[in-house]
Chains A and B, each alone.
Chain A
Amino acid sequence: MSSYANTDVQIDVFSTQGISDAHDKAYLRTSPEFFHKRLLASGFGDLFEIAKVFRQGEQSGRHNPEFSMLEWYRLDFSLADLMNEVAELMLHLLALYDHPKAQVTRISYRLLYQQYLSIDPLQLGRDELNSLCQEKGYYGDRLTFDQALDFLFGVVISTQLPKDELIFVYHFPASQAALAQINPEDNQTCLRFELMWQGIELANGYQELTDMNEQMTRFICDNETRKKIGKKVLPFDQHLLDAMGAGLPACSGVALGLDRLLMNLLEVNTVSDVLPFPAHSA
């Protein structure tokens, strides 16, 4: 729980009574990331946590509003180093659960779209993306650039991915950087990856943004977007900004959804199958 919230536009945070009189509200954490970065800035060094985290409204065969996240940080790791470490952990777990050894595939976001849709997602305009989405079964109002890419990724591409490979998709568009650094070699992309296994997103990692001012700009930007689409503006984490101001060391970090991982390892179909009390019976 924190007196500050995650401002991410696509994540809805649970709120409750304030921790002290200084704050009206407190927020259940949607990830342990902000706390971890404060520890890293204080000189804690490499760290991990298995955290219960909470996201409002996320309930489906692959989502539960309360779930377990394995998050860890490595000092001086590049994005590529961290992908290697995640792959190593995954291969170890696959062997432990008697799964056949999976091929590890690394593919850039751009190349993925080229391979599955024959487009360069970062060169197309919003109109062209929208007509492609409609052609692929989208129904409704015009999508924004990022919504259109999310549709193509989540609905079209992820269902076609080979199920037996561990697929690392890296260099997401800069507009989807979240808390990742912009790619110094290509400012259209950022240093972010996702791991897909059996068509399911299992992990999300960044070479972390360390610049406090850039972080503050992104928080403010999130809140502006929130206002525009009728979502609540949220108090962003001043403690995190202070910590980054004091100096967040160069690091990479990743969050891995443990319930989904277990679901895949045990070859069951829904996260409810691995949770003793899923949301619908909690």
Chain B
Amino acid sequence: MSTYSTSQFKNGLKILLDGDPYNIVENEIVKPGKGQAFNRVKIKNLKTGRTIEKTFKSGEKVDGADVMETAMQYLYTDGEFYHFMDPSSYEQFEAPFAAVEDCVKWLKEEDICTVVLWNNAPLTIEPPNFVELKITETDPGVRGDTSGGGSKPATLETGAVVQVPLFVPEGEVIKVDTRSGEYVSRVKK
């Protein structure tokens, strides 16, 4: 297993702490003129998503977490697991609900997602930044009203609900930014 000294700490480094994988999101050196130096880090638990603060003595060594990100295609869910495939090796992985919980409302079959693998098992899934989804339910808009004045809720094929402009009808495919959950545009088919 790889180990890292605090001098190698930087944002994005994956470390193992008490058996859980963490991602360093902030690293600050605290060094009094006449005292012990410390690295104060903000780390995100990649299993729970919780961010905590920890401080290490500078010079300490910490185990690295065998975590890597791979682009994979979402295949389907069997109700219990969510199945992904590495398009280069055709290797398939099953992710438990906990791994997709935050993004399941954006998951559309065949879309390419980022799968975070820890010890070769999916830990978390990040959806594409933009997805194209069909509106399955929304109030009929006011035809001709393209002023962009108001908005209305629309339910998408994956179950996600987003605010769309009044003129966008049911059955339309729209582009959504998954990071903000906001409507971007209509998609011409």
Interface set, chain B 1-56, CB cutoff 8 A to A:
17, 28-38, 40, 52-56
Q: How far is the CB of A143 from chain B (nearest CB, A)?
A: 7
- Interface bits A48-73 vs B (CB < 8 Å: 1, else 0): 00000000001111110000000000
20 additional A-B pairs beyond A61-B28, A154-B31, beta carbons within 8 Å, are A8-B34, A11-B34, A137-B40, A137-B55, A139-B17, A143-B36, A143-B57, A146-B36, A147-B36, A147-B57, A150-B35, A151-B36, A151-B55, A154-B30, A155-B30, A155-B38, A176-B35, A194-B33, A204-B33, A255-B33
CB distance from B74 to the nearest CB of A (A): 36
> Inside 8 A of A149's CB, which chain B residues have their CB?
35
Which of B28, B53, B56 is in CB contact (< 8 Å) with A60? B28
Give the residue of A140, A150, A151, A257 whose beta carbon is less than 8 angstroms from that of B60. A140
Residue of A nearest to B43 (CB): A139
Chain B residue contacts of A155, Cβ below 8 A: 30, 38, 40, 55
Query: Are A137's CB and B35's CB within 8 A?
Result: no
List A contacts of B17 (CB < 8 A): 139
Q: How many A-B residue pairs have CB under 8 A?
A: 71
Interface residues on B, range: 20 to 34
Say yes or no: B32 contacts A141, CB within 8 Å.
no
Chain B residues near A8: list those with CB within 8 A.
Answer: 34
Contact A58 B31 (CB under 8 A): yes
> Given A60-B29, A201-B32, A151–B56 Cβ distance below 8 Å?
no
Interface residues of A in 10-29 (CB under 8 A from B): 10-11
Q: A residues 150-207 with Cβ under 8 Å of B?
A: 150-151, 153-155, 176, 178, 194, 201, 204
Q: Specify which chain B residues have a CB less than 8 angstroms from the CB of A176 in the assembled complex.
A: 34-35
Q: Which residues of A contact B36 (CB under 8 A)?
A: 10, 143, 146-147, 150-151
Q: 25 pairs across A/B with beta carbons < 8 Å?
A: A10-B37, A11-B34, A58-B31, A60-B29, A63-B29, A137-B52, A137-B53, A139-B17, A139-B54, A139-B55, A141-B57, A146-B35, A147-B57, A150-B38, A151-B36, A153-B35, A154-B35, A154-B38, A155-B30, A155-B38, A155-B40, A176-B34, A204-B33, A255-B33, A257-B33
